[in-house]
Structure 1
Amino acid sequence: MVAVDLEVVNSADGLPWERLFDRSSLAGAATEDGTAIYATDFRVTAQGFVRILVLDQGLDGDSAGALVQRLLEIETYRTLALLGLPTAQRILPSMSAIERRLVEVTTAMRDRHDLDSNRRLLEELTALAADLEADAAASVFRFGATRAYYKIVEQRLRTVGETRLPGVPPWSSFLARRMGPAVRTCAATELRQSTLSLKLSRAADLLRTRVDVELQKQNQDLLKSMNARTRMQLRLQTTVEGLSVAAITYYVVGLFGYFVKAAHEIGQVWLEPTYATAGFIPVASLLIWLTVRRIRKHHVQEE
């Protein structure tokens, strides 16, 4: 991850340190107490190392060790902070595609109002949200690490302290100019993910509401048709009950007629069988109708 070639030399040696680095990316500064000068160009050599030079102008052992440790930490955390940039560059094209498709879907939402179209759009929005959340879940740790490492770099720079050298930008200025855009790109990508996720959620909620409304309309229509069928069945049931009462009355009156005729022939009934049978018809009809009604009421109460 990090390879550093750091050398501490005595400034009394008169080393032309400015010539050792690429002038276009040279960054250097002196410590606040003036006991050392540190410089680098943050470029990787052919051997794979980033070179850092420390000119000793009166450092003691502890101060030299602390300065070297902090400079190594700055380079280490600078490299780790920049690992979020490839992640941002990788997911930016897919985010752009999701944003374009979201615009197309929301435009289509204004023209489509049928249930099937809304369902298809809702499924597509759900798929887009799933893709976005997968990228966000895979990158949230890296973007968080980028912010944390960049803060550590800024803290170490403040701890080291910087005094400007003539004609040479300090490390903080150079890193803010070169490293700051990468960190801001990661932060902007993370914010863009969050905003896009919110837009997808709102669009999906709107479509889901439309689908629910359409389903409720269909359910209302279904209930109306069921009510109509129920009323029709009730009418048929009433008709059938009337026919049943008439049929049962016919059979009961017939049996009663046979009974009256037999009784009349043996002298037990003095009334003419025809008149007795005719008089029994209303009584039988009323009794049978009351019995059928009581049975139906009993079943309804049980249900």
Structure 2
Amino acid sequence: MDGTQEAPTVATLRAHEHRGTVLEEVHARPFRPLGTPRRLLHFAFLTDAAEAEADRAALVRFCAERGVEQPRDGVRQFRTVFGDKALRWEQHGEFTTYCWQLADGDGSLFIRQAGELAWPMGLIEQPGRHLVSVDLQLVRPEATPDLAAIFDAASLCSVTVEDGAARVSTDFKAGADGFVRILVVNQGLDPTRTGALAQRLLELETYRLLALLGLPEAQRLSEPIARIERSLVEITREMTRVDGLDANQRLLDRIAALAAELEAGVAESLFRFGATRAYHGIVQGRLAAIHGEAAAGGETFDSFLSRRMTPALRTCAAIEARQASLSSRLARAAQLLRTKVDIELERQNRDILSTLSERTRLQLRLQHTVEGLSIAAVSYYVVGLIGHLAGLLPALGLTIDKEVVTAAAIPVVVAAVAWFILMRVRRHKNIP
């Protein structure tokens, strides 16, 4: 033994097909350092699959025209710099975001010309339906403006974050230019922490609006659900008053139509309500990450959003609960009606069987009567023939009375004819 040890052989491991994806997911959207002063114009658009594909192509053309790096195929996050500006682009499941980073300029806070209301999105084709516009400005303490001149005092939220290293103020209201304004006064944050704070604030506003998209859907469904509920009450009341297969079948058809209408609404709203719950969870996560403490002159983000968003979210939850409850009630009513229809069908079947039984009994009696008449008729004719034959006996030299022969033949003929007819009936009916 020379004291040396062989290096172990490294075997080739068979990787899961999604290992690379899940490993990179936590690194997909890193915080970018941000200096102060800085201005971020953030936009979000709802995009379906076709719009997302067209938007990617438009972004490629935008970068190619300016001679900057273009997004690679398949990427969902992309950042490029041109001049003193930077663009961060992201595609999500149902929306796309553009975040433009601008230099401080002349230091004018939240001021833009009338022709610049949607700038700089005018530089590129609009990806889809516009939902979010945020104007976030990072300033130094000496440039802190009068908050009352910028924000609505009734909705002003102002918090200190990062142990007092920054103060964030907003009223969550879109101004005349369509932008929700967020002011961040940097009182000691380094660029990395500033970038993380800015990204969380933009995501908070984006997911807040996405979560509230469930409210219009809930309001749209409220009236049809109420109408279905009223119709169900009318049907259940009518169920106690009507009898008969046709009447119950009509009620069952009405319930089936109501159930189909309800399920169509459930299918249409299923994704939206599920997305509302998911986005609200993200909002709660961003609020926890920001962890703002109330500053003088405003309330916290948590308090404001909880008070303003909770009624809307409860409305969505209430509509979902009404849909589920109504679906169960329709199913129970349909089951009751099907039971009534089945009972009515059984009653009709019983009556039909009873009628068939009576007809069979009558047919059997008729058959017995016919068989009896047939035996009598055949026996009569056979006995008559025997009587005629007996009339020839004297001519043959036999002194036997014709009447005696005829009378003696009657029981024999009747028995023979009855046996013969019975055998024919049994063979016809396959009776052993």
Q: TM-score, normalised by structure 1?
A: 0.91
Counterpart-to-counterpart distance in 1, 2:157 and 2:343: 65
The 10-residue stretch of structure 1 (85-94 or 102-111) with the greater mean CA deviation from structure 2: 102-111
Check if 1:127 corresponds to 2:248. no
Which one of the candidate residues 241, 246, 250 is aligned to 1:116?
Answer: 246
Tell me, yes or no, if the aligned pair for 2:172 and 2:180 is still in contact at 8 Å: yes
Check if 1:147 corresponds to 2:277. yes
Check if 1:298 corresponds to 2:393. no
Overall identity of the aligned pairs, in %: 50
Tell me, yes or no, if the aligned pair for 1:32 and 1:163 is still in contact at 8 Å: no
Tell me, yes or no, if the aligned pair for 1:6 and 1:54 is still in contact at 8 Å: yes
Unaligned runs of 5+ in 1: none
Letter in 2 for 1:281: I
Correspondence list, 1:1-303, <5 A: 1-261=131-391, 265-267=395-397, 271-301=400-430
Richer in strand (by share): 2
RMSD across aligned C-alpha pairs, in angstroms? 2.1
Secondary structure in 1 matching 2:294: coil
Counterpart-to-counterpart distance in 2, 1:91 and 1:263: 107
Counterpart-to-counterpart distance in 2, 1:102 and 1:251: 76
Richer in helix (by share): 1
Shift of 1:297: 2.9
Tell me, yes or no, if the aligned pair for 1:157 and 1:172 is still in contact at 8 Å: yes
Tell me, yes or no, if the aligned pair for 1:88 and 1:186 is still in contact at 8 Å: yes
Counterpart-to-counterpart distance in 1, 2:404 and 2:316: 107
**Alignment partner, residue 10 of structure 2:** none
Letter in 2 for 1:298: R
Secondary structure in 2 matching 1:7: strand
Counterpart-to-counterpart distance in 1, 2:399 and 2:289: 133
Q: TM-score, normalised by structure 2?
A: 0.65
Tell me, yes or no, if the aligned pair for 2:134 and 2:202 is still in contact at 8 Å: yes
The 10-residue stretch of structure 1 (11-20 or 46-55) with the greater mean CA deviation from structure 2: 11-20
Counterpart-to-counterpart distance in 2, 1:181 and 1:42: 17
Report how many residues are paired.
Answer: 302
Letter in 2 for 1:52: I
Secondary structure in 1 matching 2:216: helix
Counterpart-to-counterpart distance in 2, 1:182 and 1:37: 28
Counterpart-to-counterpart distance in 1, 2:329 and 2:223: 18
Secondary structure in 2 matching 1:34: coil
Letter in 1 for 2:316: C
Shift of 1:234: 0.7
Counterpart-to-counterpart distance in 2, 1:111 and 1:14: 75
Larger relative contact order (CA 8 Å, sep ≥ 6): 1
Counterpart-to-counterpart distance in 2, 1:184 and 1:41: 23
Counterpart-to-counterpart distance in 2, 1:284 and 1:122: 66
Unaligned runs of 5+ in 2: 1-130
Secondary structure in 2 matching 1:2: strand
Deviations 1:157-193 (A, max 9, x none): 1012121112311111111111111111000011011
Shift of 1:205: 1.5
Tell me, yes or no, if the aligned pair for 1:88 and 1:189 is still in contact at 8 Å: yes
Counterpart-to-counterpart distance in 2, 1:69 and 1:27: 18
Shift of 1:13: 2.3
Counterpart-to-counterpart distance in 2, 1:170 and 1:300: 95
Tell me, yes or no, if the aligned pair for 1:36 and 1:56 is still in contact at 8 Å: yes
Counterpart-to-counterpart distance in 1, 2:188 and 2:135: 22
Secondary structure in 2 matching 1:5: strand
The 10-residue stretch of structure 1 (277-286 or 250-259) with the greater mean CA deviation from structure 2: 250-259
Q: Judging changes above 3 Å, is the alpha-carbon distance between structure 1 residues 302 and 87 closer, same or farther for their aligned structure 2 residues?
A: farther
Tell me, yes or no, if the aligned pair for 1:36 and 1:58 is still in contact at 8 Å: yes
Tell me, yes or no, if the aligned pair for 2:207 and 2:282 is still in contact at 8 Å: yes
